[in-house]
Amino acid sequence: MKRFFLSVNPTTKNFVIVSHGPKLRVLDGRMLVSSTDPNQPPPQNNFDQFGGKFLEHLYKIEMPKTLLQNLTFVDTPGFIEHKKLPERGYPFKEAIKWWARRADLILVIFDPTKLDVGSEMDALFSCLKGKESM
């Protein structure tokens, strides 16, 4: 089984979906867009619109936990806020916007020692405008 580690940023370069399932299993992005499992609904996600490189950084973890029956978590890649951004190989800002439009709740967690806001964080804030809770 693939392990996911927590560490100082960037912790992960992957989008990880954590949801309910009948048993513990990990699916990669390619499996998510081409599922032929008769017990799974056909993919309704359009993940392939972001390209093959995005699919290489997409995972879904299913587990039989009651908490997850009505709740899905999505952990996004850490934001890179350096002046020289490395190329991710897929349209990161568009992917973030895609997720934000579908979310009921978004938690933005900061490293308190690094509060610089660059273009990636600015893109997130732009797509969240109008979704703030009062």
So what's the pLDDT on residue 20? 94
Strand segments, DSSP code E, in 11-50 are 15-20, 25-28
- Count other C-beta atoms under 10 Å from residue 95's C-beta: 21
pLDDT at 65: 96
Q: What is the mean pLDDT of the chain?
A: 79
pLDDT for residue 84: 62
Q: Give the length of the chain.
A: 134
Domains of the chain: 15-128 (3.40.50.300)
Nearest 5°: the CA angle 128, 129, 130 is 110
Q: How far is CA 56 from CA 45, 48, 53, 110, in A?
A: 16, 11, 5, 25
For 5-57, what is each residue's pLDDT tens digit?
A: 555 555 568 999 999 999 999 999 988 888 666 655 555 568 888 999 999 99
